[in-house]
Protein backbone atom coordinates (compact mmCIF):
# COMPACT_ATOMS: atom_id res chain seq x y z
CA UNK A 1 0.00 0.00 0.00
CA UNK A 2 0.90 3.64 0.02
CA UNK A 3 0.93 6.20 2.79
CA UNK A 4 2.19 9.76 2.92
CA UNK A 5 2.87 11.28 6.32
CA UNK A 6 2.99 15.00 7.07
CA UNK A 7 3.03 17.03 10.29
CA UNK A 8 -0.48 18.13 11.09
CA UNK A 9 0.39 21.74 11.94
CA UNK A 10 3.30 24.14 11.50
CA UNK A 11 3.52 27.71 12.74
CA UNK A 12 5.96 30.31 11.41
CA UNK A 13 6.59 34.05 11.46
CA UNK A 14 5.97 36.39 8.56
CA UNK A 15 9.15 36.87 6.54
CA UNK A 16 10.73 33.65 7.78
CA UNK A 17 11.40 30.33 6.05
CA UNK A 18 9.47 27.15 6.77
CA UNK A 19 9.87 23.55 5.63
CA UNK A 20 6.96 21.11 5.41
CA UNK A 21 8.01 17.48 5.30
CA UNK A 22 6.44 14.50 3.58
CA UNK A 23 7.64 11.00 4.33
CA UNK A 24 6.20 8.12 2.44
CA UNK A 25 5.88 4.38 2.41
CA UNK A 26 5.07 3.30 -1.09
CA UNK A 27 6.34 0.68 -3.45
CA UNK A 28 7.19 3.20 -6.13
CA UNK A 29 5.78 6.29 -7.73
CA UNK A 30 6.32 8.62 -10.66
CA UNK A 31 6.96 11.84 -8.78
CA UNK A 32 6.01 13.94 -5.78
CA UNK A 33 3.63 16.87 -6.05
CA UNK A 34 2.56 19.61 -3.67
CA UNK A 35 -0.80 21.34 -3.41
CA UNK A 36 -2.02 24.37 -1.49
CA UNK A 37 -5.52 24.77 -0.11
CA UNK A 38 -6.85 27.91 1.53
CA UNK A 39 -9.77 27.64 3.94
CA UNK A 40 -12.97 27.23 1.99
CA UNK A 41 -11.10 26.83 -1.28
CA UNK A 42 -10.10 24.04 -3.62
CA UNK A 43 -6.61 22.50 -3.61
CA UNK A 44 -4.35 24.02 -6.26
CA UNK A 45 -1.22 22.49 -7.73
CA UNK A 46 2.11 24.05 -6.66
CA UNK A 47 4.99 21.88 -7.84
CA UNK A 48 6.16 18.49 -9.09
CA UNK A 49 9.43 16.62 -8.57
CA UNK A 50 9.93 13.79 -11.03
CA UNK A 51 13.59 13.36 -10.10
CA UNK A 52 15.59 13.66 -6.91
CA UNK A 53 16.75 17.13 -6.06
CA UNK A 54 15.45 20.63 -5.62
CA UNK A 55 12.91 22.38 -7.85
CA UNK A 56 12.48 26.12 -7.36
CA UNK A 57 9.46 28.21 -8.32
CA UNK A 58 9.70 31.72 -6.95
CA UNK A 59 9.41 31.73 -3.15
CA UNK A 60 8.53 28.04 -3.11
CA UNK A 61 10.93 25.14 -3.57
CA UNK A 62 10.30 21.41 -3.42
CA UNK A 63 12.75 18.62 -2.77
CA UNK A 64 12.65 14.86 -3.29
CA UNK A 65 14.98 12.08 -2.13
CA UNK A 66 13.76 8.65 -3.19
CA UNK A 67 16.60 6.90 -1.34
CA UNK A 68 15.41 8.51 1.91
CA UNK A 69 11.68 8.15 1.11
CA UNK A 70 11.36 11.83 1.87
CA UNK A 71 10.38 15.11 0.35
CA UNK A 72 9.69 18.63 1.51
CA UNK A 73 8.19 21.93 0.48
CA UNK A 74 10.20 25.02 1.39
CA UNK A 75 8.47 28.38 1.62
CA UNK A 76 10.64 31.49 1.84
CA UNK A 77 9.84 35.10 2.72
CA UNK A 78 6.59 33.97 4.25
CA UNK A 79 3.55 36.14 3.72
CA UNK A 80 0.27 36.09 5.59
CA UNK A 81 -1.43 34.82 2.43
CA UNK A 82 0.67 31.64 2.67
CA UNK A 83 -1.48 30.56 5.62
CA UNK A 84 -3.14 27.46 4.19
CA UNK A 85 -3.05 23.69 4.21
CA UNK A 86 -0.39 21.95 2.14
CA UNK A 87 -0.62 18.42 0.77
CA UNK A 88 1.95 16.15 -0.85
CA UNK A 89 0.72 13.68 -3.47
CA UNK A 90 1.99 10.81 -5.63
CA UNK A 91 0.89 8.59 -8.49
CA UNK A 92 1.99 5.01 -7.76
CA UNK A 93 3.59 2.76 -10.37
CA UNK A 94 0.86 0.21 -9.62
CA UNK A 95 -1.78 2.59 -11.03
CA UNK A 96 -0.43 5.55 -12.97
CA UNK A 97 -3.75 7.38 -13.18
CA UNK A 98 -4.32 7.27 -9.45
CA UNK A 99 -3.35 10.24 -7.27
CA UNK A 100 -3.09 9.76 -3.51
CA UNK A 101 -2.59 12.56 -1.04
CA UNK A 102 -0.91 12.97 2.29
CA UNK A 103 -2.79 13.90 5.43
CA UNK A 104 -1.98 17.59 4.98
CA UNK A 105 -0.15 20.24 7.01
CA UNK A 106 -1.88 23.36 8.23
CA UNK A 107 0.53 26.29 8.08
CA UNK A 108 -0.22 29.28 10.31
CA UNK A 109 1.71 32.51 9.84
CA UNK A 110 2.16 34.95 12.73
CA UNK A 111 2.86 38.66 12.11
Partner 1 sequence: DVKVTQSSRYLVKRTGEKVFLECVQDMDHENMFWYRQDPGLGLRLIYFSYDVKMKEKGDIPEGYSVSREKKERFSLILESASTNQTSMYLCASSFGGETTEAFFGQGTRLTVV
Angle at 96 between CA 44 and CA 21, to 5 degrees: 50
Minimum distance from residue 104 beta carbon to partner 1 (Å): 4
Nearest to 92 by CA among 49, 31, 50, 22: 31
CA–CA gap between residue 5 and residue 68 (Å, rounded): 14
Q: Is 99 in the site for partner 1 (CB under 8 A)?
A: yes
Q: Which stretch binds partner 1 (CB under 8 A): 15-23, 25-33, 56-64, 70-78?
A: 25-33
Minimum distance from residue 1 beta carbon to partner 1 (Å): 9
The interface with partner 1 within residues 55-74 (CB under 8 A) comprises none
CA–CA gap between residue 33 and residue 87 (Å, rounded): 8
Contact footprint for partner 1 (CB under 8 A): 8, 30-33, 41-45, 48, 87, 89-91, 95-104
Amino acid sequence: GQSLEQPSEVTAVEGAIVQINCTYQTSGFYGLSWYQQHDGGAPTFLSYNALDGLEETGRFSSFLSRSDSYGYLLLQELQMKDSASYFCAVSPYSSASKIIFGSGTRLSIRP
